[in-house]
Structure 1
Amino acid sequence: MVKSLEQVHEELNVWGFPHHPWEFTLGNTHIVLNPKTLVMTWIVMLLVILFTVSATRNMNMKRPGKLQLMVEEIFQFLRGLVYENMDPKKGAGLMSLIFTLFIFLLFSNLWGLVPTMMSPTADVNTTAGMAIMVFFLVQFMGIRYKGAGHFKHFLEPFPFFLPLTIVEELAKPVTLAFRLYGNIYGGEVLIAVLLGLLGLNTFIFGGFIPSVVWLAFSIFVGFIQAFIFTMLTIAYISQVVKEHEH
């Protein structure tokens, strides 16, 4: 029997997460929280900490372990991207943020492939929050290196282009957020649809692996989306830094 998307989500909700978000009012502000997203985000953060601590706890320069080699390769790859796009002296201070951003996004994107779990990045509130963080980081870097001159580009080449420039600037975090959210959420919905068509009893642990091909593709998408978000963050920062260098 073909099951609806709601029925599949209900069967996968073995942890008993509330079906409706938590809502409360703080002063004049109405706040809405998704409990499942909050729990999954904290789990991913814990996994990132465990991974990085395990990889660097017993570092050995002569005989590095597999996890240490993995972390070093990721760090060197990201450092190469940063140094290619901006002055190494300026980029060095961003490496901790860039590395943490990539690792967190990667773990978040892949966590939804674990049976009964969900990717925090499958919630638009998570991706929007990260995109807004990147937006303000870019503005901070621009002001840091150019002061008030950072806002000069809003009036170039002519003042009447100001509305278009503002729209272009605001479109950056919007596209960052929805590109990541759309790809990860779409993948999870497709998996749920396949489970509804084929039945949960045909899959491992009630089913999160409809096929080896789809699992491999989902892992690939998770890596690519983490890379794209991180690469665009580097590109946006390098734009304001390079303008200062010229």
Structure 2
Amino acid sequence: MSAEAAHEASKDMLEVVHENLNIWGFPHDAVNFGLGPMDLKTLVMTWIVMALVILFTVAATRNMQLKRPGKLQLMVEEMYSFLKGLAYENLDPKKGASLMCLLFSLFIFLLFCNLWGLIPTMMSPTANVNTTLGMAIAVFILVQVLGLYYRKLSYFKHFVEPFVFFLPLVIIEELSKPLTLAFRLYGNIYAGEVLIAVLLGLIPFTINFFGGFIAMVVWLSFSIFVGFIQAFIFTMLTIAYIGQVTAEHH
């Protein structure tokens, strides 16, 4: 079998697997709600993840105690303390404190998005490049706004330092940041879902067992690790980019 034929066969296999896993009947084509074409499944999964994040954080913080904190409270406090340490290492403490709500929300949302696809019949919103690119563009805009806010017009100096003819290279570097943020996260999460589909294709009878439950369990440990790492990297790079543009000597 030629390489082209093998590629077509694997593509057909993945299409069959995805069709069998689509037990909720999501349309294959993008749906237009008047704002342009949207992937209905990604949209629904994002709404579900947002609701889960709200429920998780409310449940973890509604009855907070100092002497006997609950397990959820301890989990949230550990994540918050970890992100706080990273922020304070890369940012001025005053600036870092003002961004902690944003950074914690970003990390917890990405973590839930990355892990949601491990549940049979569900899909990680971050396995869609539109989700990751939208978040990366939002971070890029935030970085530029904070740079202007803290450094005023002196923020533009780094575009022409040390020589003005470096300007095109600096602009390319700035524009590459949201692209690398988006495609790194998307590539890792999407690759995990493709590998799950490949496992299901190699063992076809598992597709009908609760949306591929067996393959999900086999891939579970590694996918949880990747989900945590990718959420951490995205948040860490966001902190680093903000630290670069808000530093006194950029």
TM over 0.5: yes
Matched residue pairs, number?
Answer: 240
Aligned partner (choices 227, 233, 246) of residue 241 of structure 1: 246
Q: Distance in 2 between matches of 1:39 and 1:54?
A: 23
Are residue 53 (structure 1) and residue 62 (structure 2) matched? no
Are residue 198 (structure 1) and residue 207 (structure 2) matched? no
Give the share of equivalent positions with the same residue, in percent: 72
**Which residue is equivalent to 2:23?**
14
Q: Distance in 1 between matches of 2:141 and 2:205?
A: 44
Aligned partner (choices 120, 128, 137) of residue 133 of structure 2: 128
> Structure 1 regions of 5+ residues with no counterpart?
none
Residues 26-66 of structure 1: per-residue CA shift (max 9 Å, x gap):
6xxxx221100100000000000010000001111110000
2:27 partner letter: P
Q: Distance in 2 between matches of 1:63 and 1:125?
A: 42
Q: Distance in 2 between matches of 1:195 and 1:89?
A: 50
2:22 partner letter: N
1:203/1:10 CA distance change after superposition, 3 Å: closer
**Which residue is equivalent to 2:92?**
87
1:187 partner letter: G
Q: Distance in 1 between matches of 2:118 and 2:200?
A: 13
**Which residue is equivalent to 1:67?**
72
Matched-pair contact (CA < 8 Å) for 2:113–2:124: yes
Query: Alpha carbon RMSD of aligned pairs, Å?
Result: 1.7
Q: Distance in 1 between matches of 2:30 and 2:211?
A: 25
Matched-pair contact (CA < 8 Å) for 2:206–2:213: no
User: CA shift at 1:221, angstroms?
Assistant: 0.3
Are residue 109 (structure 1) and residue 118 (structure 2) matched? no
Aligned partner (choices 158, 163, 182) of residue 177 of structure 1: 182
**Which residue is equivalent to 2:191?**
186
1:69/1:203 CA distance change after superposition, 3 Å: farther
Q: Distance in 2 between matches of 1:188 and 1:221?
A: 12
User: CA shift at 1:151, angstroms?
Assistant: 1.3
**Which residue is equivalent to 1:151?**
156
Name the SS of the counterpart of 1:206 in structure 2. Answer: coil
User: CA shift at 1:245, angstroms?
Assistant: 5.9
User: CA shift at 1:241, angstroms?
Assistant: 1.6
**Which residue is equivalent to 2:102?**
97
1:129 partner letter: G
User: CA shift at 1:210, angstroms?
Assistant: 2.1
